[in-house]
Structure 1
Amino acid sequence: MKKQVIVALALSVSAFSFAQKKELKTAEKAIKSNNYAEAKAALNQVTPMLSTIDDKYKSKYYFLQAEALYANGAGSTEDVNKAIESLGMVDDSSLKGDVDAFTTNMQNSYLTKANDNFTGQNYTAASVEFEQLYNMVPRDTTYLYYAAVSAVQDKDYETALKHYEKLDGLGYTGITTEYFATEIATSEEQVMTKANRDLYVKAKSHIKPGERKSESKRAEITKNIALIYVSLGKNDEALAAVKKARLQDPENLDLILSEANLYLQLDDSDKFSELMEEAIKKQPDNPDLHYNIGVIALKNKEYEKARTAFEKTLQLKPDYATAALNESTTYIEEGNSFIEEMNSLGTSKADNARYDELQAMKSEFFNKGATVLENFIKNNPNPEPNIYQQLISIYNAIGASDKAKAVQVKLDAAQ
């Protein structure tokens, strides 16, 4: 009696094994015919028996499932993600060649899609596809970097942050070897593959071949993490991230400016100015840095400091229109600061004398504001309309109506 039970059990296992092989063959045949729905149906018959089948057939099942879900590129995002997971479950060396070929096919197809969507500004799709490329080939972290970049362009900051933090944790640098040569016809340096560079140099269409390491993206990644935290209102995390980035690359001007802008958003103008001064030491001839110092000083009513910054800006870049406007504004605001006292005075002789004194001081500041714009127009004969408009306002305020009319004529002609 005991022997009969053993025989029956053996027959039962054999029947299960036969059924599994049959369904796998059915799925394989359907995939070759591009009938992915039939392949999925056949594989679904095997799914409940996975715990009982041999590892060899289990690997075959996962490989066929990946092919069926991918559906030669027609699978949904969810199905493709499952296909990638299934490939990771294949544990049979005899299938390695098939898995590698299938993965390469997926990779090439998705790389084309991702690049096309990115250049076509369909950043939502590009972000998903670059992430899938990374999941297909985890060793190629560049795909994850471009997934993050695409997410930023799509303003999907939560996803971008997830990718950037993973890159940061992986220690991704993005450093590559760039091969270059100068094209004789255009005298322009071109970056290309090593094979192409060597071919062009041999053909004598290019000269001065060389190679160099690209810049690390570590600081950029940490900076972007900080900026995303700011956009999400997580200021403490943002400060921690940007400080970490500066420790990694203390001489990086962009990081100094990123930290400065972060403090500006946090309304800490003192720290902003301190960092801008640090930036100016690294790039003393950068007009934008001096201009930003001036803007904050003007906001804080530090008129002399603001004027010094705007004057330096105009020395470095004489056509910097907003610097001229703001320098002029420092005089206007300082002149307007007397208005409150003027309005508070009575009609006594002493009050009238004080009023005249304040009025003269106000006019003196307004005249200085006008002089800034007049000098700017001398150096820039075709200025922006707002230069003329502010000058007209000043002239009208000081009662120089003839000058205002003359400038109005110039403004009308320019528009």
Structure 2
Amino acid sequence: MKTRFLILASLCFTMVGFAQKSEIKTAEKALKSGDAASAKTALEAVSGSISGADEKLQAQYYFTKGKAYAELAKKGDNSAFEEAAKSFQQVLDVEEKSGKEKYSEDTRQHMRALSADLVNSAVEDNGNKKFKEAAEKLYTSYKISPQDTSYLYYAASSAVNGGHYEQALTFYEELQEVGYDGSGMVYKATNVESGQVEEMDKSQRDLMVKSGTYKDPVDEKTPSKKAEIVKNMALIYTQLGKDDKALEAYSAARESNPDDVNLVLNEANLHYKLGDKEKFKELMAQAAEMAPDNADLHYNIGVINMEQGNLEEARAAYKKALEINPNYTNAQLNLSTTYVNEGNSLIDEMNGLGNSKADIARYDELKEKKDSLFLEGAGVLEEALKNNPDNQSILTQLKNIYGAMGDNENFMRIKKMIGE
């Protein structure tokens, strides 16, 4: 009885193996006739039992499956790219384990072609703003060719462009793990006929120059992308609310690229968001030293000083911004406001004074100082009107100053200019 059972089991395995070979051959024939869909159907019929087949048959199955899915991907089935890549990798894994490489070399060629198809499709997706799809295809291309780390870099860039920050962060972290640098050499030469400078690989460029059709060869080194990656990671951490990690990333990025003023500004803004205005002020001062001709920097330094009540420092910053850009309206408005705010700060003391001779003298002194400050604030805006006579913000603020001073003549003049 036992012997009979073994014979039956052997027959079953033989029949399964025969069915597997038959379906694989059916799939191969379908592929030759250009019918990848039928090939896929034939292969699916034996997918559940292929793991029990011998390694030679497994390699044949996965090789055929990889070709079928690669063909489907070419015809527009984007979901087929990953399955094709996975199947081709299984061919290599199976044959490496068995030590027999019947399909491996052909598989590597197909994988290179698949990688190129993925990249081309990703470029098209990016052009159509399908950034998530592009990122996934570029990442799959990187997994096919791990030595081509630039695919991983561009996958992260696509994810960022689409606002898929967590996905981008995963890619950037992987770039750091593999030590991606991104620097390299670009080879150029001038086309003698057209006069255009063209980029090509080194061997081709050298041959073209030697033939005389190109001239003036140039080797250009492209900079490292490490600082950019860390900066992008910091921005993403900030976007995701992971502020501690963002600060760590900014620190690392600034070590790698100490002359990048944008890194200082981004870190300063994060400290401001976290409520550390002293650190914000310190970093903004650093940035101003690094980019002394940046009016926005000086304006922002003025804003933080004004918020902290440091009016003299705020005025100095606003005046510096206006030296660089004389028509910087917000700087003009805020500079005027520093004088008005200082004048208003005297009112409480004025209102608290009594009717004694000394109090009356002090009141007159404070009023004169307040009016002087208000006039100075008005003077800033009158100067601003010369180049921007229709600016409603300037006109409104100027009207309010004259109203507070009781200067009815100028109040009515500005009111008329507003059109009230």
The interval holding the TM-score normalised by the smaller chain is 0.7 to 0.9
Check 1:38–1:281 CA distance in 2 against 1; reply closer, same or farther (3 A cut): same
Give unpaired runs (5+ residues) of structure 1: none
Q: CA deviation at 1:157?
A: 1.5
Answer yes or no: is 1:389 the counterpart of 2:396.
yes
Task: Spell out the pairing of 1:38-49 with structure 2 (5 A cutoff).
Answer: 38-49=38-49
In structure 2, distance between residues paired with 1:224 and 1:321: 32
Between 90-99 and 273-282, report the one with greater CA deviation: 90-99
Answer yes or no: is 1:99 the counterpart of 2:107.
yes
| TM-score, with length taken from structure 1 | 0.83
In structure 1, distance between residues paired with 2:405 and 2:210: 74
Conserved 8 A contact 2:189-2:198: yes
Q: Which residue of 1 aligns with 2:303?
A: 295
Conserved 8 A contact 1:346-1:352: yes
Q: Which residue of 2 aligns with 1:236?
A: 244
Check 1:127–1:403 CA distance in 2 against 1; reply closer, same or farther (3 A cut): farther
Between 402-411 and 255-264, report the one with greater CA deviation: 402-411
Q: Which residue of 2 aligns with 1:50?
A: 50
Structure 2 residue corresponding to 1:193, chosen from 190, 193, 200: 200
Q: CA deviation at 1:381?
A: 5.1
Q: CA deviation at 1:3?
A: 9.5
Q: CA deviation at 1:74?
A: 5.0
Q: Which residue of 2 aligns with 1:215?
A: 223
Conserved 8 A contact 2:187-2:205: yes
In structure 2, distance between residues paired with 1:207 and 1:301: 64
In structure 2, distance between residues paired with 1:367 and 1:208: 66
Check 1:108–1:382 CA distance in 2 against 1; reply closer, same or farther (3 A cut): farther
Conserved 8 A contact 1:328-1:370: yes
Task: Spell out the pairing of 1:150-169 with structure 2 (5 A cutoff).
Answer: 150-169=158-177
Report the RMSD for the aligned CA atoms in angstroms: 3.7
Conserved 8 A contact 1:103-1:136: yes
Between 94-103 and 210-219, report the one with greater CA deviation: 94-103
**Which secondary structure state, in structure 1, belongs to the residue aligned with residue 406 of structure 2?**
coil
- Percent identical among aligned pairs is 41
Q: CA deviation at 1:370?
A: 1.8
Structure 2 residue corresponding to 1:325, chosen from 325, 333, 337: 333
Task: Spell out the pairing of 1:310-349 with structure 2 (5 A cutoff).
Answer: 310-344=318-352
Check 1:201–1:330 CA distance in 2 against 1; reply closer, same or farther (3 A cut): farther
Tell me the matched-pair count: 410
Between 196-205 and 322-331, report the one with greater CA deviation: 196-205
Between 233-242 and 381-390, report the one with greater CA deviation: 381-390
Task: Spell out the pairing of 1:50-89 with structure 2 (5 A cutoff).
Answer: 50-70=50-70, 71-74=72-75, 78-89=79-90
| TM-score, with length taken from structure 2 | 0.82
Q: Which residue of 2 aligns with 1:90?
A: 91
Q: Which residue of 2 aligns with 1:265?
A: 273
Conserved 8 A contact 2:73-2:81: no
Give unpaired runs (5+ residues) of structure 2: 96-100
**Which secondary structure state, in structure 2, belongs to the residue aligned with residue 174 of structure 1?**
coil
**Which secondary structure state, in structure 2, belongs to the residue aligned with residue 89 of structure 1?**
helix
The one-letter code matched in structure 1 to 2:404 is A
Conserved 8 A contact 2:85-2:144: yes
Check 1:48–1:183 CA distance in 2 against 1; reply closer, same or farther (3 A cut): closer
Conserved 8 A contact 1:280-1:286: yes
Conserved 8 A contact 1:164-1:225: yes
Query: What are the Cα deviations for residues 297-344 of structure 1, in whole angstroms up to 9, with x where unaligned?
Result: 112121111111111122222232222222122112222223444455
